[in-house]
Amino acid sequence: MGPQNDTWIIEFLLLGFSEVPELQPLVFGLFLSMYLVTVLGNLLIILAIVSDAHLHTPMYFFLSNLSFVDICFTSTTVPKMLVNIQTHSQAITYAGCIAQMQLFVLFSGLDILLLTTMAYDRFVAICHPLHYKVIMSPRLCVQLVLVSWITNVLHSMLQSLTVLQLSFCTDLEIPHFFCELNQVVHRACSDTFLNDVVMYIAAVVLAGCPLAGILYSYSRIVSSICAISSAQGKYKAFSTCASHLSVVSLFYSTSLGVYLSSAVTQNSCSTATASVMYSVVTPMLNPFIYSLRNKDVKSALGRLLGREALGTSMVLRLKTRP
């Protein structure tokens, strides 16, 4: 009897990183700490940008959107893993796995397109400074974010629909800590040719083309910076895009490293561990990169935290009055 598409009763098993019981509390504590830092750090960035009128510019508008996407990106995978560790279960329902896979594809794609949009913003700011406000109008900024969302919603739906056509038999163990698209597809016992084609085309169009756009933008930026005569002017121009360049380098180097290494080696455990770098560590580090290397963000965070401390002290004084 051939394989039947009984996916409505299927549960997948997320093997995670280690099946050694003694290591589970360590893994739980580590990922819980990283998740809390990610959410708190990106939330502070969003609040600082929203509350400070000096940061109501295209660059920080895109940064606030990136911070929101990073919170969603990490929340797609880490909480489920923490629940599984706490309940001593590796199971995830078929519907939950598809939903997690779809959301992961959505938010990882949004990360890529938002980083590309931010590179374009820096390109216009440095290469066409006199026309910056005209080109990067509020309307264009909103349109760029909307296009990023619509593109990735459609892409994630397409990937999910192709997975829904697959049949799954008995090999339901996913050697990962979340339902990664490639891992789920290769658990199927039906033909995955269409899925592979869609994944490769999407990788070229939605990851390769944005990377080419980022590289082109920075090649023009470097040329413009080199044409500046004063050393102070060069430093000021470079400092405006240093944080973004650091985030782009971290995200692409880790994600490309994962998929290139997975093509060379079949060690799924090492691939899952490496995936933590771009899916958990990078969103956690983004707020630190942008706050530590950016005086405007540091000042806004200082004013925000100062107002919070002042409000807290006033509440405490009112409560202590007789």
Please compute the mean of the pLDDT values over residues 53-73 and round it to a whole number: 94
Q: At what angle do helices 58-75 and 78-87 cross, to 10 degrees?
A: 20
Note the pLDDT of residue 103: 97
Note the pLDDT of residue 210: 94
What does the block give as tokens for 77?
A: 């995978």
Contacts for 85 with CB less than 8 Å, ≥ 6 apart: 16, 24, 27, 28
Which of 37-41, 146-150, 249-253, 273-277 has the least mean pLDDT?
273-277
Note the pLDDT of residue 301: 78
From the list 225, 160, 124, 231, the residue with the least C-alpha distance to 7 is 160
Distance from C-alpha of 170 to C-alpha of 163, rounded to nearest angstrom = 16
pTM of the model: 0.89
Please compute the mean of the pLDDT values over residues 2-20 and round it to a whole number: 66
pLDDT top residue among 276 and 17: 276
Distance from C-alpha of 204 to C-alpha of 83, rounded to nearest angstrom = 35
Confidence class for position 196, pLDDT limits 50, 70, 90: very high
Which CATH code is given to the segment(s) 9-320? 1.20.1070.10
Look at residue 17 and tell me whether its pLDDT is greater than 80.
no
Q: pLDDT digits over 104-151, tens only?
A: 999 999 999 999 999 999 999 999 999 999 999 999 999 999 999 999
Report yes or no: 299 and 309 within 8 Å, Cβ to Cβ: no
Note the pLDDT of residue 4: 45
What does the block give as tokens for 150?
A: 């619509």
Look at residue 311 and tell me whether its pLDDT is greater than 80.
no
Note the pLDDT of residue 260: 64
Distance from C-alpha of 252 to C-alpha of 241, rounded to nearest angstrom = 16
Confidence class for position 6, pLDDT limits 50, 70, 90: very low
% of the chain at pLDDT higher than 70: 86
Distance from C-alpha of 15 to C-alpha of 223, rounded to nearest angstrom = 48
231, β-bridge pairs: none
Distance from C-alpha of 129 to C-alpha of 90, rounded to nearest angstrom = 53
Note the pLDDT of residue 1: 40
Buried b (16+ CB within 10 A) or exposed e, 71-109: bbbbbbbbebbbebbeeeebebebeebbebbbbbbbbbb
Confidence class for position 298, pLDDT limits 50, 70, 90: confident
Confidence class for position 233, pLDDT limits 50, 70, 90: confident
What average pLDDT does the chain have?
A: 86
pLDDT top residue among 228 and 6: 228
Q: pLDDT digits over 155-168, tens only?
A: 999 999 999 999 88
Q: Could you give the angle at the alpha carbon of 199 between the alpha carbons of 193 and 204, nearest 5°?
A: 130
Look at residue 53 and tell me whether its pLDDT is greater than 90.
no
Note the pLDDT of residue 43: 95
Confidence class for position 3, pLDDT limits 50, 70, 90: very low
Please compute the mean of the pLDDT values over residues 73-89 and round it to a whole number: 93
Which of 7-11, 137-141, 172-176, 221-225 is modeled with the greatest confidence? 137-141
Note the pLDDT of residue 153: 97
Note the pLDDT of residue 259: 67
Look at residue 272 and tell me whether its pLDDT is greater than 50.
yes
Contacts for 275 with CB less than 8 Å, ≥ 6 apart: 176, 177, 180, 258
